[in-house]
């Protein structure tokens, strides 16, 4: 039913769109990407600074299957900047126009800046490592350090600590990887069976292994006078062990904030207030919003089909908002616009949205223009896990050009649709907790992606 309703909705708010065009066109958009990504605290960290300083910007999580897909979306949406997390930090490099020297040496990018269409990659992770030790008054120069894990986080930690003058050894279960990373960093590598002896003899232990990994360090290898840096900002077994031993701790949360400071400066050209970033980190805006899921997006992005299938998979009720408006009022949306006018429709839409979003165990498919009103975006952000379904304008026109959308019955439907979408994309970004690209995927694959993100973030 999204077809007809989508047209009248879009057509009816053309004047509203024109009034909002100037403001929305100035909005900067940012994202963080990885797989998985819904757990990321970056939107909370950056969003806190944007809100407090009155910066017209939106920051959302971009779910992608590959680094190339993420960069493609960044270009298509003309994002001002994007942060990158595992597993894309190395994979993203070939898709960039330029990479700075530090990122090249670490062979990992966690920050991408869009300079008028030219994408440049940076690595601020190593800065985050150095600054985190500095915050804890830990001297790195001439200290013996072992880095456990030679992935992106481990390489950044190794690079930063070595640059600060520490004597570093890297260890990984993939010994060839550890040797290569050590060689590239000008450090030494040790065999994996030397892990215990290296930890015992080190002043600083960097644990750059995923928090879900089983305990690979024995209690007797940790000394109270050691400094432990766990890259995970969700607690791992090492957090409890270090606390029990009385070690000084540098956490993944410390590093996350400290890498965000230079990333922010790359994005906006000025330093942020780090205290505000900590305030954002310590909030929990997602809460338990997974009990209510809202799908937003432009026409023909799959909101109805994906919403219905996702509801089935979750065991939730599916609600098509436009259908409910028609059922409640006894009028088609076309007649509502023609007879009662847009303000009357918006008032009804807001009331019904507010009513349905306040429920639990529901998936709500929203009309294409629901995000235009700030009050609706506030309702979505406060009460629902809001997922933005996105595909290219060309795909929307191709999928939607079935004769039921007069909006597309023009000489240049792509240009018409793009103009409307460009006016709305900042609003979608502002409302969204998560964005999923539906361009080349079947409904089942899209639902699987959303479900996987929810499961990993909420343990659904």
In a shared domain, residues 215 and 318: no
In a shared domain, residues 372 and 435: yes
Q: What tokens does 251 get?
A: 């956490």
In a shared domain, residues 357 and 432: yes
In a shared domain, residues 182 and 301: no
153 CB contacts (<8 Å, ≥6 apart)?
A: 86, 125, 208, 231
In a shared domain, residues 134 and 266: no
In a shared domain, residues 354 and 261: no
pLDDT of the chain along its 460 residues, tens only? 333 333 333 433 443 443 443 445 579 999 999 999 999 999 999 999 999 999 999 999 999 999 999 999 999 999 999 999 999 999 999 999 999 999 999 999 999 999 999 999 999 999 999 999 999 999 999 999 999 999 889 999 999 999 999 999 999 999 999 999 999 888 999 999 999 999 999 999 999 987 666 677 888 899 999 999 998 877 777 888 888 899 999 999 999 999 999 999 999 999 999 999 999 999 999 998 999 999 999 989 999 999 999 999 999 999 999 999 999 999 988 888 889 888 888 889 999 999 999 999 999 999 998 999 999 999 999 999 999 999 999 998 888 766 555 566 677 888 989 999 999 999 999 999 999 999 988 999 999 999 999 999 997 5
Please name every residue paired with 28 in a beta bridge, in sequence order, or none if there are none.
57
Least Cα distance to 255 among 222, 277, 279, 240 occurs for 277
In a shared domain, residues 222 and 270: no
In a shared domain, residues 95 and 138: no
Assign residue 20 the CATH number of its domain: 3.40.50.300
- The helix/strand/coil state of 34 is strand
Q: How many domains does the chain have?
A: 3
Q: What order do you get walking across the sheet with 118-122 strand by strand?
A: 98-99, 118-122, 111-115, 81-84, 28-34, 57-63, 434-437, 385-390, 292-296, 362-365, 317-320
Assign residue 196 the CATH number of its domain: 3.40.50.720
pTM: 0.91
Do residues 283 and 48 make contact, with C-beta atoms less than 8 angstroms apart? yes
- The helix/strand/coil state of 16 is helix
Query: Cα torsion at 301, 303, 304, 306 (round to 10°)?
Result: 100
In a shared domain, residues 6 and 45: no
Rounded CA-CA distance 460/452 in Å is 9
Assign residue 107 the CATH number of its domain: 3.40.50.10860
CA distances from 229 to 21, 265, 279, 446 (A): 47, 25, 22, 37
Its domain, for residue 208, covers 127-250
């Amino acid at each position: 039913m999204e077809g007809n309703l989508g047209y009248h909705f879009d057509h009816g708010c053309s004047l509203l769109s024109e009034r909002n065009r100037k403001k929305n066109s100035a909005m900067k958009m940012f994202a963080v990407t990885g797989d998985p990504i819904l757990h990321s605290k970056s939107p909370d960290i950056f969003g806190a600074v944007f809100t407090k300083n009155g910066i017209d910007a939106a920051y959302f999580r971009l779910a992608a299957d590959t680094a190339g897909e993420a960069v493609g979306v960044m270009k298509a949406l003309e994002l001002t900047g994007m942060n990158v997390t595992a597993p894309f930090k190395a994979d993203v490099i070939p898709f960039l126009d330029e990479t700075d020297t530090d990122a090249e040496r670490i062979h990992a990018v966690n920050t991408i800046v869009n300079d008028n269409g030219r994408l440049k990659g940076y690595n601020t992770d190593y800065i985050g490592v150095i600054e985190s030790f500095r915050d804890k008054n830990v001297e790195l120069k001439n200290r013996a350090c072992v880095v456990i894990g030679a992935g992106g986080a481990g390489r950044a930690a190794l690079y930063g600590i070595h640059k600060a003058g520490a004597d570093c050894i890297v260890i990984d279960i993939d010994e060839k990887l550890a040797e290569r990373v050590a060689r590239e960093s000008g450090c030494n590598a040790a065999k994996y069976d030397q892990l215990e002896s290296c930890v015992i003899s080190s002043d600083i232990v960097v644990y750059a292994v995923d928090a879900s990994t089983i305990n690979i360090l024995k209690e007797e290898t940790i000394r109270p006078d050691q400094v432990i840096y766990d890259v995970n900002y969700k607690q791992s077994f090492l957090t409890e062990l270090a606390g029990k031993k009385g070690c000084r701790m540098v956490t993944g949360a410390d590093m996350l904030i400290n890498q965000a400071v230079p990333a922010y400066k790359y994005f906006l050209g000025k330093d942020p207030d780090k205290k505000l970033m900590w305030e954002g980190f310590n909030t929990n805006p997602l809460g338990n919003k997974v009990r209510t899921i809202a799908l937003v997006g432009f026409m023909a992005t799959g909101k109805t089909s994906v919403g219905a299938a996702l509801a089935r998979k979750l065991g939730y009720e599916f609600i098509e908002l436009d259908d409910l408006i028609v059922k409640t009022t006894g009028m088609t949306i076309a007649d509502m616009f023609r007879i009662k006018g847009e303000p009357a429709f918006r008032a009804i839409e807001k009331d019904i949205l507010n009513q349905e979003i306040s429920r639990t165990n529901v998936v709500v498919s929203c009309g294409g223009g629901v995000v235009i009103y700030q009050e609706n975006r506030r309702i979505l952000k406060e009460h629902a896990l809001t997922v933005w379904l996105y595909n290219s304008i060309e795909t929307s026109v191709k999928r939607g050009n079935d004769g039921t959308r007069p909006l597309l019955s023009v000489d240049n439907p792509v240009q018409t649709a793009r103009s409307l979408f460009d006016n709305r994309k900042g609003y979608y970004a502002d409302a969204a907790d998560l964005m999923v690209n539906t361009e080349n995927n079947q409904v089942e694959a899209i639902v699987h992606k959303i479900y996987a993100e929810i499961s990993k973030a909420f343990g659904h």
